[in-house]
Chains A and B, each alone.
Chain A
C-alpha cells in the first residue's frame, strides 16, 4: 500500500515530483512553506507595509524555482535547508533590484508575545524586536548562518553543506554574528 503524503519522506516526494506528480509538489509546499516563511521574514523579506503578502510571494517564488531546478538538488543538505538558500538568493536579488535593503523600524517588526510578567513581556518583546531588526543588518553569510542555527536549530555540518562552506567557517560566522548583535543590543 503506498504511503500517504504526510508519511512519505522528502526524498520520496521529490522523486515523485521528478516524475511529474503534482500531489508530491503540493505536499512539499505544505510541509516546508511556514518554516521557509519564518526564515525569510527574519532575514528581512516583507519588511514594511504588506509584509505578509511579500513574504508569501517570495515563498511561492522559492518553491517555483526549486521545483523547476529539482534536478540540481543533490541531497547534500536537507530539502528545507536547500529551499532556504534559494529563498535567501531571491531575497538578495530583490534587494539588488531595489538597489538597497529596506529600512526597518522597531515598530514594524512583530513583537513576540511571551507569557509572564507584563514588564518582562515588554522587555522580552522589545529585545526580540531589536534582534529582529539587527539581524537584518548583519552581512548575508553571518545572517544566514545565525538564522539557520538559532532560528532553525540546524547543526553546523548541515549549515556548512547548505551554504557551501566549511564547518569551521560557519562557526566563525556565527560567533561574529553573536558578537555583533551583543554590541548592538548593549
Chain B
C-alpha cells in the first residue's frame, strides 16, 4: 500500500460518525447562558471600570477646584486686617460666629464660643488664620 492509498483511506475516516448538530448547538448555547460568559462579562466589566475611573477623576478634579476657590474666597472674606489684639471678646465672638463653615472646629469644641475667654478666642482665630 502506497502513500496515496493511505491518504485516500484517511480522508474517509470518521465519515460514519453521526451527531445531532442542532442538539449540540442548543446545548452549547444553553450552557453558555447558565454559566458566566467571561468574554462578554469581562468586556462589560472593563467598560464599567473605565467609566468609574473617569467619574472619580472628574469628581476629584471638581472638588479640588472648589476647595481651592473656597480657600481663596475664605482668605478674602476674613482677611482680619485688624490686629486680633485690638478686638474685644464680643468682636472676636462675632468673627467666629461668622465662620460657621468651619464645622469641624465646632465639633471639636462642643461648648459655646461664649465659654471661651478672650485669650482662647484669640488663639483659636490665630490658628484658623494661619
B72 at the interface (CB under 8 A from A): no
Q: In the complex, are the beta carbons of A29 and B25 less than 8 A apart?
A: yes
Interface size class of A (residues with CB under 8 A): 35 or more
Q: In the complex, are the beta carbons of B39 and A71 less than 8 A apart?
A: yes
B103 at the interface (CB under 8 A from A): no
Give A67 to B47 CA distance when docked, in angstroms: 21
A90 at the interface (CB under 8 A from B): no
Main secondary structure of the interface of B (DSSP, over half): helix
For the A-B complex, the count of residue pairs with Cβ-Cβ distances under 8 Å equals 129
| A residues 146-163 in Cβ contact with B at 8 Å | 146-147, 150-151, 153
Give A76 to B121 CA distance when docked, in angstroms: 77
Interface size class of B (residues with CB under 8 A): 35 or more
Main secondary structure of the interface of A (DSSP, over half): helix
Q: Smallest CB-CB separation from B7: which chain A residue?
A: A150
Q: In the complex, are the beta carbons of B10 and A18 less than 8 A apart?
A: no
For the complex formed, measure the closest distance between the CB of B11 and the CB atoms of chain A, giving whole angstroms.
Answer: 6
- Some 14 contacts from A to B, beta carbons below 8 A apart, are A20-B40, A29-B24, A30-B25, A33-B21, A41-B17, A42-B13, A52-B17, A56-B24, A64-B31, A70-B39, A128-B13, A131-B13, A146-B10, A182-B6
